[in-house]
Structure 1
Amino acid sequence: MLLGEPSGDTVEVAVAFVKECGATLLEVSPRVFDIFRGILQEGDLEYTSKCLVESLVSINFENHKAIRPELDLLDEKVTHIISLFDEIDPETSLDVFKPDPEFHQNERKYEQLKRKILGEEEDHTETDLVSLRRKIYQTITSSLNYEDAGHKLLQLLRIKPGQEMELCVMILECCTEEITYRSFYGHLAHRFCLKSKAYIECFKNLFVQQYVTLHRLETNKLRIVAMFFAHVLAADALPWEVLGNIRLTEEDTTTFSRIFVKILFQELSEKLGVGLDEKLQDPAMEETFEPIFPKDHPKNMRFSMKFFTFIGLGGITGKLRQLLQALY
């Protein structure tokens, strides 16, 4: 800006810029200040511009560090030097807006990273979460049907990005408070899964959380949780890959997890009929379902076969039986 004939505007912008990064310029290019001194000596500036330059020259930049100590958080620093004469890719494609299909997930990652670096407190305090859960509970329990509940939760509460998990947890908790399973909750979960991938991810995580903590549930609640996820899976609202978290062996299961798997698959069989076997025999999903139908050891293969035979679903282990027979 100062290489040509300096004007009042260019001097003002240049002074403002140098005030922000003068400490660094002193280290990498101290000649910049010679340019300002030369402009002063020529005396062709307006009075206002001359005062700006004089104030700049008088600043002791040693007391104006480029980076505040409390913000100097990087252990490794890399300096990128770009010449005005180098050919630079302008990346014009960035001028065109492109929607991010994983916007909400990336926003959450950014917020987590920001809190980690800057040490900010969580956006939602415990009080805020309690208030949100109360509103969700009241909205669900006061709704006429799942469509009414879904509309109110979406339009009135306006769940913010990052709060989806709270909604999913409350849907399941409300479901387990019932005496018996109500399809109302499965339909409600289905609706939110169709609404956004963020809810699908939340229910996938919730499935895993519930499965590893089944021992904490009463028998009736365990039954309701299994029926809830069977409903969502049968509707294809939740990817069947979540079943890959179930490893059906004697060592990897407990009384609680066996009851859960029993009810889950019996409900799936009732809802899908022969469609269940078709789903489980899909070659594209064979690797996903291998923990349920383990092939690593004959003992585990027999356990899986006996388990499904005991609960009346021995037919879905046909491929496993053939494989076991081929071993002998």
Structure 2
Amino acid sequence: MAREKELTERFKKRREAQPPRTEAEKQAAAKKEYDELLNARSGGRYVPPARLKELQKEIGSDKSSKEYQRMAWEALKKSVNGLVNKINTSNIKHIVPELFAENLVRGKGLFARSVMRASAASTPFIPIYACLVAIVNTKLPQVGELLLHRLVSQFKKAFKRNDKAVCLSSTAFIAHLCNFNVVSELLPAQCLLLLLNKPTDDSVEIAVGLMKEVGAHLEEANKPIATAVYDQFRNLLHEADLDKRQQYSIEVLFQIRKDQYKDNPAVPESLDILPEEDLIEHRVGLEDDLNTQDTANIFRYDPEYELNEEAYAKLKAQILGEADASDDDAEYESGSSEDSEEAVKEREMEIKDQTNQDLVNLRRTIYLTIMSSSTFDEATHKLLKINLPPEKESELVSMLVEVCCQEKTYSKFHGLIGERLAKLNRLWTELFEQAFAENYETIHRRETAQLRNNAKFWGHMLSTDAISWKILQVVSLSEDDTTSSSRIFLKILVQDMTEQLGMTEVQKRFKDDLMRSHFEGLFPTDTPRNTRFAINYFTSIGMGALTEDMREHLKSAPPPAAVMPAALARHDRVQGPVPALLIGVSVTEAFLQLNADDRARPAGCARSQEETRARVDTADHTPDQSHRPGRVEEGGSVPLPQEVRMVEGDRTLRLDILLGPDLHQDVSDNAVLRTRLVAEAHRQDQLVDNAVLRLRLWLQGQTARLDAK
């Protein structure tokens, strides 16, 4: 006891003898002790939290000091690890703002390492971590790129070391990042190629796991890659000497594909929270030079610490939508009474560009954006980033169609851009539908190559249901309403839709009761003439299966009302209706009138040549309005149908069959009438033989009735 009292008094005297320390000395001592604690080896001495907090307080707020930055670095690391570890589906929307509140630019290495460790420790949470990375990547692309480089590097090292567990976690993370469009589908395709090049039981298992996660996205984004991968799996199943367990896993994979990835969606519905136009895709490959930035994981002194913190504070305010701290309301204010009249006029004057230079620049920007993009996803993302003036959104659509038409051959690249835009927003869908109507009205201005590209573009849009099939209501398929260009356009359009959907699906679409009213112009049934034209058109382009309804309509349609020739009606010598075959050419009708008058003459009274010439000239010069079907005026003639046509060969025999030998003699004597008949025979070169026979039979029947009377 005496010894302890002696020591206490000795230390007390020593402390009293020492002068009191200044604040600077206390701060320096605290910094020294704190630095010793941080640099101590693991397992060093324990410091109570109260003492540690006291040391940090003594260090002060000198942000330029190394100790303060080290303390802030440790706090950043602890905060990032805590936020990443407690994230889940329900709180991801609340964790993300807290994460952006931390300096992720400075701590991007910490964030990447924390996410990779968490994903390796809990693989079921990998989709959540991938969604978190996708959100951060939309605002800070450099963070997402660093994570991808580290993942690829980790996979390559684990593959060389035959570390199956690390390969499984790495490939699963890469697959889900691909599903969220953080990385292109080429990276998982390269991983699959590497794993299946020299297959082993472990590599096949890893490849199957990767394909389960990324298969749905590959089927949608790049089907040829998915098909090639499944062909390789099929070959392994039949040829490779694999373990029963791996063979069974491949069979399960094929069953998953058959079920259309019902239990393995690309993006879970609860995590589908990002708009597609905000996603940023990186192109990283296995053979690329990777920059893992390993030094970003450790603390480094920053001489410009305060400037960097201020810059991130502005970026954070922009990301989180916070109000700017600076208030600009106290700027220049002046009363209007102090302004001169000229100054007021200058402020009120609006400059309007009448040269359309802004429109030209906008079109140039759109064109260069499309041509400089390597994939349709990249092109769509860049196009949506263009600041389009109000009511100028249609320029983007028209430029896309124009760029597609100017290509030498059609590229599906443009069709995929149009499809993606139309499916993103209803505004783009309406603009594309308006563009189709305008495009069809001016289709005759395009060349043949442009017609093909144009038709294939719209065929892709219709086949993928990017736009409604109702737009086909602008098409009127008839001889009068179409041109050669529009018929070529429709041919390529329908053929392209049939190639993509199949004839059965196209027939089903065109026969849909809800949509049938919009296809009345494409499959006309208003008049037999238009119906026949449409049937012949579709049959000539190999689409005869689409004309079944029109053929049935044509068969079931009632025959047109027959009109009796005026001359025969006046003499009351014809009983029953005149067949529809007798509606057509006025010259031949004149022959029928002459023949009827000859039958009515008494025996021995022949018609003179002057009378014959006068009757023929009268018939041939009848005004056009008297030739309308269903309209017969006094003394007028009814034209015969177009089906009655005369062929060039063996005219004498045809005239005998058509007119009879008696009237043929009058024709031979009348040079004018014969000339007109020959000209008519040359002009109408599509006579159907059965039509002539029907006319002959009808004439014989009328003759028999007259003779009987």
TM tier relative to shorter chain:
0.5 to 0.7
Secondary structure in 2 aligned to 1:284?
Answer: coil
Q: Is 2:487 the partner of 1:263?
A: no
The one-character-per-residue Cα deviations of 1:83-103 (angstroms, maximum 9, x if unpaired) are xxxxxxxxxxxxxxxxxxxxx
2:365 aligned to which of 112, 135, 149:
135
Aligned to 2:460: 231
Aligned to 1:34: none
Cα displacement (A) at 1:122: 7.2
Distance 1:252 1:143 in 2: 40
Moved over 6 A (4+): 120-125
Letter in 2 for 1:315: A
Distance 2:480 2:467 in 1: 27
Cα displacement (A) at 1:184: 0.6
Summarize the alignment of residues 89-238 of structure 1 with structure 2, pairs less than 5 Å apart: 126-155=356-385, 157-238=386-467
Letter in 1 for 2:555: Q
Letter in 2 for 1:236: D
Cα displacement (A) at 1:204: 1.3
Aligned to 1:113: none
Cα displacement (A) at 1:123: 8.9
Distance 1:191 1:124 in 2: 34
Aligned to 1:305: 535
Looking at both structures, which has the greater relative contact order when contacts are Cα pairs under 8 Å and sequence separation is at least 6? 1
Distance 2:512 2:431 in 1: 25
Distance 2:453 2:352 in 1: 33
Aligned to 2:544: 314
Distance 1:197 1:121 in 2: 33
Distance 2:521 2:353 in 1: 39
Distance 1:235 1:123 in 2: 40
Note the residue ranges of structure 2 that are not aligned, 5 or more in a row.
Answer: 1-349, 559-709
CA contact 1:153–1:159 (8 Å) conserved in 2? no
C-alpha distance 122-224 of structure 1, shift in aligned 2 (>3 A): farther
Q: Is 2:526 the partner of 1:296?
A: yes
Cα displacement (A) at 1:199: 1.4
Distance 1:183 1:122 in 2: 39
Distance 2:420 2:356 in 1: 28
The one-character-per-residue Cα deviations of 1:35-59 (angstroms, maximum 9, x if unpaired) are xxxxxxxxxxxxxxxxxxxxxxxxx
C-alpha distance 123-272 of structure 1, shift in aligned 2 (>3 A): farther
Aligned to 1:241: 470
Letter in 2 for 1:137: Y
Cα displacement (A) at 1:320: 1.3
Q: Is 2:555 the partner of 1:325?
A: yes
2:508 aligned to which of 267, 270, 278:
278
The one-character-per-residue Cα deviations of 1:189-225 (angstroms, maximum 9, x if unpaired) are 1111112222112111211111111121111001111
C-alpha distance 133-145 of structure 1, shift in aligned 2 (>3 A): same
Aligned to 1:88: none
C-alpha distance 298-140 of structure 1, shift in aligned 2 (>3 A): same
CA contact 1:140–1:149 (8 Å) conserved in 2? yes
C-alpha distance 241-277 of structure 1, shift in aligned 2 (>3 A): same
Letter in 2 for 1:190: E
Distance 2:436 2:388 in 1: 21
Note the residue ranges of structure 1 that are not aligned, 5 or more in a row.
Answer: 1-119
Distance 2:426 2:353 in 1: 22
CA contact 1:246–1:291 (8 Å) conserved in 2? yes
The one-character-per-residue Cα deviations of 1:51-77 (angstroms, maximum 9, x if unpaired) are xxxxxxxxxxxxxxxxxxxxxxxxxxx
Distance 2:437 2:479 in 1: 19
CA contact 1:294–1:301 (8 Å) conserved in 2? yes
Structure 1 vs Structure 2 CA RMSD: 1.7
Letter in 1 for 2:479: E
Cα displacement (A) at 1:124: 9.2
The one-character-per-residue Cα deviations of 1:267-309 (angstroms, maximum 9, x if unpaired) are 1111110211110010111110000111111111111111101
Distance 1:295 1:148 in 2: 46
Letter in 2 for 1:295: T
Letter in 1 for 2:377: E
Aligned residues: 208
C-alpha distance 313-121 of structure 1, shift in aligned 2 (>3 A): farther
TM-score, with structure 2 as normaliser? 0.29
Letter in 2 for 1:217: R
Distance 2:402 2:483 in 1: 23
Aligned to 1:112: none
What is the aligned-residue identity percentage?
A: 42
C-alpha distance 144-253 of structure 1, shift in aligned 2 (>3 A): same
Deviates more, 1:265-274 or 1:199-208: 199-208
1:252 aligned to which of 478, 481, 496:
481
Secondary structure in 2 aligned to 1:288?
Answer: helix
Cα displacement (A) at 1:161: 3.9
Distance 1:126 1:254 in 2: 33
